[in-house]
Amino acid sequence: MISSKTSFIALIGNPVSHSLSPIMQNAALQYLGLDLIYIAIPCKDEDLELVLNSLKKINCKGLNITIPHKEKVFNLCSEISPIAGKLKAINTLKLNSKKEWSATNTDVEGFIYPLKTLNLTKKDSIILGSGGAARSVIQGLINLNFSTISVISRNKSSLDELIKNFGCQIEIQGLLNNDNRAQNLIEDADLIVNTTPVGMKTTKNEEITLPFGENFWRSLNSKSIIYDLIYNPAPTSLLKFSAEKGCMTIDGLQMLVAQGLKSLSFWTDGLEVPFHIMNDALKNYLKNK
Ligand code: NAP
């Protein structure tokens, strides 16, 4: 029950109305029996500093940060974890003992979660897209001891930036999506991760396509695992297409839940919630939508 003593955790972004975090975090907070609720607060760029400074003064116990503020919050935080510093992106904040924001990023742990039980050491991977999520995916693949990473993207400048940032840690190459070498890479890849938003459910009645078009996928075979970061719709067109080819498929819901569990643990100094509590809440919500 919400009372006059109830505190809150908030998601700060713009837009936030589509976010599933309130559904899964409130299920977890209820499971823990904490007098805490989770809400979503839309916040424009120009208001970010004022909003974050104001939230320090009231009964706010922590924050999630989403698009477009993941990089902009850096100079509003007094402590930054090594992983957030390395990724140049923050997704979780809590107040430290001096009532200043302490920041981390839980996306890498979220991404790794569904892959942990598979033996992927020395395997070859492909990442589609070179935006913010690709950075967490690269770091995750490095942590899992993959042998090579090929990032395929339509954006040369962000590709070059990624290769520059991660090139000293793993054998990584960047290719534009119309590069002929992409077909050989797809044929041989052990894991292909889609980090582009292509295939996401939109309000428009668009025809849903595969990232870079169907022809791009012509050499896919059943040996590759296909991991789509998108969780709505489930399955995406890419995952349906890949399953028909006999591939193992992973959708983005597990990553969403796993990063949420890690954020909750950060806010509550180590409390743990079973994965199924958040996962079931999301599945029920999406089924009835
Ligand atoms: P982002 O920073 O905007 O990066 C998106 C990347 O995809 C960029 O390289 C972009 O290229 C490329 N792209 C966009 N539209 C494309 C198109 N039509 N064809 C080919 N490439 C295209 O976004 P992000 O933060 O990385 O997020 C990407 C996706 O991952 C979103 O769908 C997001 O919901 C999902 N995600 C899921 C989770 C989870 O927990 N499951 C977590 C994080 C992200 P340009 O630079 O040329 O636009």
Across the chain, how many H-helices and E-strands are there? 10, 12
Residue 1 lies in a domain: no
- Any catalytic annotation for residue 57? no
Same domain, 137 and 193: yes
Q: Is the Cβ–Cβ distance between 77 and 100 less than 8 Å?
A: yes
Burial of 265 (0-12, 13-18, 19+ CB in 10 A): middle
| Predicted model pTM | 0.94
Tokens describing residue 122: 């020395």
What is the predicted pLDDT for the residue at 174?
A: 98
Residue with the smallest CA separation from ligand 1 atom 14 is 196
81 falls within a domain? yes
Count the domains in the chain. 2
Instruction: Give the integer Cα–Cα distance in Å for 101 and 77.
Output: 5
- Identify which has the larger pLDDT, 277 or 287: 277
Q: Residues 246, 261: one domain?
A: no
180 and 147 within one domain: yes
237 shares a domain with 151: yes
> Which residues' Cβ are closer than 6 Å to ligand 1?
107, 110, 129-134, 153-155, 158, 195-198, 200, 211, 229-231, 252, 255-256, 259
Ligand 1: nearest atom to the Cα of 197: 32
What residues make up the domain containing 36? 7-105+257-288
* Choice among 5, 70, 86, 88 that is catalytic: 70
User: For atom 39 of ligand 1, which residue has the closest CA?
Assistant: 256
- Give the pLDDT mean for 86-108: 96
The CATH number given to whatever domain includes residue 225 is 3.40.50.720
Cα of 58 vs centre of ligand 1, distance in Å, is 34
Question: Given pLDDT bands bounded at 50, 70 and 90, which one contains residue 244?
Answer: very high
Tell whether 170 is covered by a domain. Answer: yes
- What CATH number is given to the structural domain containing 74? 3.40.50.10860
pLDDT for 50-64, tens place per residue? 999 999 999 999 999
Per-residue model confidence as pLDDT tens digits over 189-229: 999 999 999 998 775 656 668 999 999 999 999 999 999 99
Strand order in the sheet with 79-80: 36-42, 7-13, 60-65, 92-95, 101-104, 79-80
